[in-house]
Structure 1
Amino acid sequence: MADEMSKTEVPKRRQGGPRRGHGGPMGRPTEKAKDFKGTLLKLLGYIGKHKVAVIFAIVFAIASIVFNIVGPKVLGQVTTKLYEGLTAKVAGTGSVDFDWIGRTLLLLLGLYLASSACSLLQGWLMTGVTQRICYRMRKEIAEKIAVVPMSYFNGHSKGDVLSRITNDVDTLGQSLNQSVTQLITSVTQIVGVLVMMISISLPLTGVVVVTLPAAALIMGVMMHFSQPYFRAQQKVLGEVNGIIEEDFAGQNVIQVFDRAADAVAEFDEKNDQLFISGWRSQFLSGLMMPLMSLVGNAGYVAVVVVGAQLALSGSIGVGDIQSFIQYVRNFTQPVQQIANVSNTLQSMAAATERVFEFLAAPEEENAAAPQVPAAREGRVEFDHVRFGYAPDKTIIHDFSCEALPGQTVAIVGPTGAGKTTLIKLLQRFYDVDAGSLRVEGIDVRDWDRAELRREFAMVLQDTWLFCGTVRDNIRYGRPDATDEEVEAAARTARCDSFIRTLAGGYDFVINEEGTNISQGQRQLITIARAVLADRPALILDEATSNVDTRTEELIQRAMDELMRGRTSFVIAHRLSTIRNADAILVLRDGDIVEKGTHAELLAAGGFYAELYNSQFEEAA
């Protein structure tokens, strides 16, 4: 689009250090948590859409743990029965009841099988829930992109937005699938094991419980210190993705200007920041498990010592000691898992915050009662329009113009004069600061936004083609067009002949960057797209700038045919291409300094004549 946009909207790259995204260097203070609890509450709202599946998953998870924690006590009873039987057999007063032991062991096997089955079912249910949540989030992000104002993308790199769709949603999905069920099963296991331990020995249970405050303290300290680095890791990851995406797309320019070393240095700087935040977050979170294991092992040793004393005094049986030792392991394990889940939740919260931040971004406002005109003729009126991308930097000061149906209005002027800005206002990518802009007699702010944009067909200086066939690219502006209409539009745009020379003709697949056809050919296809769209008004922003002189002449004839009967706005630097325009507006510093036909403006000998003659002087 316009040259002035590079000056007024998008920070220039590689001047004064990296400017991508919104993160700062790691040396600066890391932004504090915006709303950890609030983020989780919002996420619960998403989970609530699948509450039936979640409830069943919770029930199966609890059932799995219940079946599992009953096992050690049953096994302890078997041990006690076997010990007593062997003791009686040695004393000659009895024998081992192997029938009872066999039945009990079969019951134990059934309990463990039931536990595994319930665990399998809850895993299947939670995987479905998390994937549906991820699907919904990606869908909402894709829909959000379509309604976020253009100004949002001026302050956020494409890589950062892509990172939110891919990395952050993936992190959310993986973490949610692991953490929710793990949290439920761990809490259930702690409660269940605690009950079973109390049923065996209250003193031994007290020995184990005293380790909980130490575990809670470790968890709290580790979460406090690691959370900022988890947030920084996700933030810098988005910036790294932005660098990779931008450098890959601009590799030709980087090589031509010998800036490969600078590009690598910039990437290395961000990569170092990602390494530091990732290393610190993982190191601090990794400390939690060994520290928790240390606390658990200390509790285990204390249980063995106290249990031996109780067994010697006859307070508990041998099998009870075995069961209790198993329960100690089953008790410390979920405590450690909760510590691990806390790390997962931190990573999930950091990723989810970024997703919700984008979903909460401001949207393009639509009129409360959007209007659509009864007839579309292509009438456009600028009435004392004032506009600036920033409140303190006005680009268009006081612009008034009327384009009648069927007229061709050319807009010329030096770089940065505000030419393309007017086109952005027409499309309502931005709203005017003062005055009004009317299309078909209706203020654009009162239009239905989608209907307003269907008023115009556009051909821009920067071509955009998607990965697909030539036919589909031409048909993009009018999906219901027939193959015959597509080919007729291509003939009008003077691109039918070269298309038929491609392998597959109209079914030739253009690659993602459009690099398997020439720049001029890409321009011709976008012109054919505008021809096929058949809108009442046209916007041509240097539409012939990327073609040779002979092709430009052919396209100009096609444009004359295309513009006949339509209101057309033509931005041109080659003033020879607008000699037949009904009105030429000469912009300078956001104001109209001259207005008239080509002949009138040349005769006036003003700024337009100076621009026109300078082009021939340069050519000479």
Structure 2
Amino acid sequence: MKNKSTLKRLMAFCRPYRIYLVGALLFSTINIIFTLLTPILIGKAIDQMIGYHQVFFQGLSQKIFYIAFSVLMTALFNYFLVRASNKMTYEITRDLRTELFKQYQILPLSYIDSHTHGDMMSRMIADIDQISDGLLQGFTNLFGGIATILGTIGFMLYVNVKLALIVIVLTPLSLIVATLIAKYTFKFFQEQLSIRGEMSGFVEEMVGNQKVVKAFQHESINEEKFDEINDRLFKSGVKSQFLGALANPSTRFVNAIVYDTVCIYGAFSVIGGGLTVGGLSSFLTYANQYTKPFNDISNVFTELETALACAERVFKIIDEPAIKNPEHPKTIDNPQGVIDLNYVNFSYSPERPLITDFNLHVNAGETIAIVGPTGCGKTTLINLLMRFYDPQSGSISIDGINTQTMDRSYLRSLYGMVLQDTWLFKGTIRDNIAYGSNNATDEEIIEAAKKAHAHKFIIQLKGGYDAMLAEEGSNLSQGQRQLLSIARIMLANPPMLILDEATSSIDTRTERQIQDAFDTMMIGRTTFIVAHRLSTIQKADQIIVMNDGHIIEQGKHEELLKKNGFYHNLYYSQFEKPE
């Protein structure tokens, strides 16, 4: 039942390409007619050669011409059939990939964070390739096989009714065998795909973090883990491939028995005068053609089971509840940056509360520094402000408007964000800086790079601003990558800023220069700074000290030092306490 619903849903993707489906069916029908016509023509040609010096050349030449024409038409319409079925299949798989990629863009971060990226990539690439193969097998072989069977029955009845009945009665046994085998292959293919996704996730994680693996000498441990996954994949693959491969030889064995029976009975019919030699030749060709579609159909079942297992994995992601924007989203005409968090509660897992009854008021243009020990909720607070996650209860508002009534894209356009972990993509430096800005001119890009103190190292690269970055900017140093991320924000020039350890990988001298640029940029802008180095936040209008998801202290730098509390101890753990 589950397979039927998956197949029905997969077929829904065929609707926009009905013209190709109709064309494929039409070309397949014509192809089959000429394919089945050829054996009769060959049989009649044989009958023109009834014995020694008894060859009717005029009739033989005519039959050879008809045979050549029939073969040519078969090849021509087979070409049209392949073109139409391939076009439809590849259009459908393209739409599937597009649909899945769109879903990836709107999935909540909670889903992305809780599933391995390798498995998600496997569904996007390998699984949809398997669906493509299954559809291709289905459209080219399933209909053609059924039509060939029906057409062959008609031609066999025309040649000899008794022989036709022998073939018709015995041959369906091969289909029954194939169906029974296919019934058990589905669960093994599902298991194989699941383990393959697990392996993709593990390999992607290990390759992406090779420096850490080598630094901690974990190569042998990772090899053991990989071997364990690979061994499970091997065992599952052997089971699924064995059962999948068992269908074809099983059906061939049944078909061979049918063919032998026809040969023996047909030979006696020729001796008895009830059938010509040409007629027997035609019939044996039909018997062989009649059994071949059953082999093709058995292969189709195997491919289809794999395709359905893959489709089920793809649809499982497509069916995930996506982030929805309000029907009538609100906007702010002139953002001032007054932010209120009222009784906000949030946790990543219900059994472990993180932020509880959190309240905060931020005036327009203020610089708010957020400090606290690891795991206190600093980054989580930023995630809530950006609506990467939504609070379980409470509200967050900007200029009096609840952020949950805003379009997420619009909300995030109000913030400029620089993280400790930089993100750059494969492309030119120019494109990476302009990533958050539309229609930025070259002059604006260069000016932003100068403000971020990135211009100097950029012009020293071969190609300058047109220099190509490797994936994730791996051909630059960590500090240079961070400078480009800062230049991106300088160019975007947003109403509010979030700086999460924005200068953590930059040398002291450049940090001072960038800090001056940030100070200029932060004038009149509400800014949140997450900092571990407390020397960078002494000028903040408010310092919020967090611990266990609560604000435990709040005030200016000097005020908090005088309290001799948590911030006082945290600050002097980094600096020498005066006598």
TM range (shorter): over 0.9
Identity of aligned residues (%): 39
Aligned partner letter, 1:71: T
SS in structure 2 at match of 1:400 = strand
Aligned to 1:206: 165
* Paired residues of 2:255 and 2:291 also in contact (CA < 8 A): yes
Aligned to 1:67: 34
Aligned to 2:342: 383
Aligned to 2:265: 306
SS in structure 2 at match of 1:181 = helix
* Paired residues of 1:475 and 1:532 also in contact (CA < 8 A): yes
Kindly report which structure 2 residues correspond to 1:166-565, keeping only aligned pairs within 5 A, or say none: 166-565=125-524
Listed one character per residue, the Cα deviations across residues 257-308 of structure 1 (whole Å, up to 9, x for unaligned) are 0001111221122122222222221121112111111111101111112222
Listed one character per residue, the Cα deviations across residues 479-533 of structure 1 (whole Å, up to 9, x for unaligned) are 3111111111112122222222222322222211322221111111111111111
Displacement after TM superposition at 1:195 (Å): 1.0
* Paired residues of 1:207 and 1:303 also in contact (CA < 8 A): yes
Q: Does 1:78 align with 2:37?
A: no
Cα distance in 1, alignment partners of residues 461 and 22 from structure 2: 58
Aligned to 1:104: 63
SS in structure 2 at match of 1:616 = coil
For the aligned residue pairs, the C-alpha RMSD in angstroms reads 1.8
Aligned to 1:599: 558
TM-score (structure 2 length as normaliser): 0.97
Aligned partner letter, 2:317: F
Cα distance in 1, alignment partners of residues 447 and 125 from structure 2: 40
Aligned partner letter, 1:392: E
Cα distance in 1, alignment partners of residues 447 and 48 from structure 2: 92
SS in structure 2 at match of 1:375 = coil
Displacement after TM superposition at 1:213 (Å): 4.0
Cα distance in 2, alignment partners of residues 508 and 103 from structure 1: 70
Cα distance in 2, alignment partners of residues 491 and 300 from structure 1: 82
* Paired residues of 1:58 and 1:181 also in contact (CA < 8 A): no
Among 153, 156, 159, the residue aligned to 2:118:
159
Displacement after TM superposition at 1:583 (Å): 0.7
Among 26, 37, 52, the residue aligned to 2:19:
52
Cα distance in 2, alignment partners of residues 566 and 345 from structure 1: 58
Cα distance in 2, alignment partners of residues 339 and 606 from structure 1: 76
Displacement after TM superposition at 1:618 (Å): 11
* Paired residues of 2:330 and 2:406 also in contact (CA < 8 A): yes
Aligned partner letter, 1:250: N
* Paired residues of 1:60 and 1:122 also in contact (CA < 8 A): yes
Displacement after TM superposition at 1:595 (Å): 0.8
Displacement after TM superposition at 1:617 (Å): 5.0
SS in structure 1 at match of 2:331 = coil
Cα distance in 2, alignment partners of residues 398 and 579 from structure 1: 27
Among 69, 72, 91, the residue aligned to 1:132:
91
Aligned partner letter, 1:594: E
Cα distance in 2, alignment partners of residues 132 and 501 from structure 1: 45
SS in structure 2 at match of 1:371 = coil
SS in structure 1 at match of 2:345 = strand
Q: Does 1:587 align with 2:546?
A: yes
Cα distance in 2, alignment partners of residues 392 and 178 from structure 1: 49
Please list every run of 5 or more consecutive structure 1 residues that lacks an aligned counterpart in the other structure. Answer: 1-33, 90-94
Cα distance in 1, alignment partners of residues 192 and 6 from structure 2: 18
SS in structure 2 at match of 1:429 = coil
Kindly report which structure 2 residues correspond to 1:569-580, keeping only aligned pairs within 5 A, or say none: 569-580=528-539
Mean Cα displacement is larger for which, 387-396 or 568-577?
A: 387-396
* Paired residues of 2:179 and 2:301 also in contact (CA < 8 A): no
Listed one character per residue, the Cα deviations across residues 561-594 of structure 1 (whole Å, up to 9, x for unaligned) are 1111111011111111111111111111001111
Aligned partner letter, 1:76: G
Displacement after TM superposition at 1:96 (Å): 4.1
* Paired residues of 1:71 and 1:112 also in contact (CA < 8 A): yes
Displacement after TM superposition at 1:225 (Å): 2.3
SS in structure 2 at match of 1:76 = helix
Cα distance in 2, alignment partners of residues 135 and 378 from structure 1: 43
Aligned partner letter, 1:69: L
Cα distance in 2, alignment partners of residues 394 and 365 from structure 1: 25
* Paired residues of 2:369 and 2:531 also in contact (CA < 8 A): yes
Cα distance in 1, alignment partners of residues 406 and 430 from structure 2: 32
Cα distance in 2, alignment partners of residues 618 and 60 from structure 1: 88
Displacement after TM superposition at 1:108 (Å): 1.7
* Paired residues of 2:344 and 2:393 also in contact (CA < 8 A): yes
Please list every run of 5 or more consecutive structure 2 residues that lacks an aligned counterpart in the other structure. Answer: none
Among 100, 104, 110, the residue aligned to 1:145:
104
Displacement after TM superposition at 1:179 (Å): 2.5
* Paired residues of 2:171 and 2:255 also in contact (CA < 8 A): no
Cα distance in 2, alignment partners of residues 551 and 307 from structure 1: 94
Cα distance in 1, alignment partners of residues 70 and 296 from structure 2: 23
Aligned partner letter, 1:51: R
Aligned partner letter, 2:45: V
Aligned to 1:18: none
Cα distance in 1, alignment partners of residues 427 and 256 from structure 2: 62
Cα distance in 1, alignment partners of residues 406 and 577 from structure 2: 44
* Paired residues of 1:494 and 1:558 also in contact (CA < 8 A): no
Cα distance in 1, alignment partners of residues 273 and 406 from structure 2: 88
TM-score (structure 1 length as normaliser): 0.90
Cα distance in 2, alignment partners of residues 617 and 311 from structure 1: 111
Cα distance in 2, alignment partners of residues 212 and 79 from structure 1: 27
Listed one character per residue, the Cα deviations across residues 361-392 of structure 1 (whole Å, up to 9, x for unaligned) are 22112112111122212221101111111223
Cα distance in 1, alignment partners of residues 151 and 398 from structure 2: 70
Cα distance in 1, alignment partners of residues 251 and 560 from structure 2: 83
Cα distance in 2, alignment partners of residues 551 and 204 from structure 1: 91
Cα distance in 2, alignment partners of residues 214 and 500 from structure 1: 75
